[in-house]
């Protein structure tokens, strides 16, 4: 289906949701956890998060209750809320370079905490990749933060899924604690001023239209007029 290069916000929402649903329908082609036998090695925190992710919920700026950290026994920090300035440091990218929210000031930033053993995460990641590819990096930056998995599993998963067009970070749990993350997937939308605009916990196809409408409302008009790959091929 070809779309005009002169998008309205409503057209962007419709196109994005349809593309996302198409990705979900073909998710069997998306490679899963490269080490399924590793399930016995998951930490208590991962097991709890997996159970919570199986029944996803959505919130917009509500904070998560503090829960004990499985490794240190310390209470997890309360999650930042809508309107808050989030923790700046997000960790190191795959090349060892520090990544900060402030690096992308002036852009919309989407941060998703995920794990390869989390089925809802594996459905969310290609949707976020489609969003990054559709909008481009001039106005949007998607950052996927892998939570508390061995580096070999993290790298193996990305090697099996090279089409995930976003920035990738592996977190041992420190960044997640600062963001109050106790379950995955956990997604934060940060506006161009650096403040949290939306928070989503869990994932379901029913959340797609709401998320798409939020993104379309936050993007500048020129981003909504960006040609799609189909448009470029037709030119």
Q: DSSP of 95-135, one letter per residue?
A: TS-EEEGGGGTTSEEEEEEE-TT-HHHHHHHHHHHHHHHHH
Per-residue three-class SS string for 164-193: CCCEEEEECCHHHHHCCCCCCCEEEEECCC
pTM higher than 0.75: no
Is the preceding omega at residue 185 within 30 degrees of 0, hence cis?
A: yes
- Examine residue 30 and state whether it is found in any structural domain, yes or no: yes
CATH number at residue 154: 3.40.30.10
Question: pLDDT at position 29, please?
Answer: 40
- Examine residue 3 and state whether it is found in any structural domain, yes or no: no
- Examine residue 217 and state whether it is found in any structural domain, yes or no: yes
Question: pLDDT at position 213, please?
Answer: 85
- Examine residue 80 and state whether it is found in any structural domain, yes or no: yes
- Examine residue 2 and state whether it is found in any structural domain, yes or no: no
Question: pLDDT at position 22, please?
Answer: 52
Question: pLDDT at position 200, please?
Answer: 93
Question: pLDDT at position 79, please?
Answer: 84
Domain boundaries, position 71: 9-234
Question: pLDDT at position 206, please?
Answer: 76
Query: Which of the residues in the chain have pLDDT under 70?
Result: 1-77, 225-235
Strand residues in 28-115 grouped as ranges (E): 89-92, 98-100, 108-114
Looking at the 3D structure of the chain, how many domains does it have?
A: 1
Question: pLDDT at position 71, please?
Answer: 42
- Examine residue 1 and state whether it is found in any structural domain, yes or no: no
Question: pLDDT at position 49, please?
Answer: 42
Question: pLDDT at position 96, please?
Answer: 95
- Examine residue 99 and state whether it is found in any structural domain, yes or no: yes
pLDDT in tens, 102-129: 999 999 999 999 999 999 999 999 989 9
Distance CA 127, CA 139 (A): 17
- Examine residue 4 and state whether it is found in any structural domain, yes or no: no
Decide: 93 and 175 in contact? Cβ < 8 Å: no
């Amino acid at each position: 289906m070809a779309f005009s290069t002169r998008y309205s916000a409503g057209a962007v929402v419709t196109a994005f949701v349809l593309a996302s649903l198409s990705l979900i329908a073909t998710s069997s082609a998306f490679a899963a956890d490269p080490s399924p036998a590793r399930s016995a090695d998951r930490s208590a925190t991962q097991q709890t998060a997996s159970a919570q992710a199986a029944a996803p919920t959505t919130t917009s700026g509500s904070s998560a209750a503090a829960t004990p950290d499985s490794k240190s026994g310390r209470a997890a920090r309360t999650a930042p809320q809508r309107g808050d300035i989030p923790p700046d440091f997000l960790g190191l990218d795959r090349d060892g370079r520090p990544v900060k929210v402030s690096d992308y000031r002036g852009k919309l930033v989407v941060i998703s905490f995920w794990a390869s053993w989390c089925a809802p995460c594996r459905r969310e990641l290609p949707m976020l990749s489609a969003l990054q590819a559709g909008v481009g990096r001039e106005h949007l930056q998607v950052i996927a933060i892998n939570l508390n998995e061995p580096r070999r599993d993290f790298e193996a998963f990305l090697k099996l899924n090279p089409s995930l067009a976003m920035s990738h970070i592996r977190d041992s749990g420190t960044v997640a604690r600062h963001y109050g993350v106790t379950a995955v997937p956990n997604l934060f939308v940060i506006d161009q001023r650096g403040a949290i605009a939306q928070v989503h916990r869990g994932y379901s196809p029913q959340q797609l239209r709401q998320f798409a409408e939020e993104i379309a409302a936050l993007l500048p008009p020129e981003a909504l007029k960006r040609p799609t790959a189909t448009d470029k091929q037709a030119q």
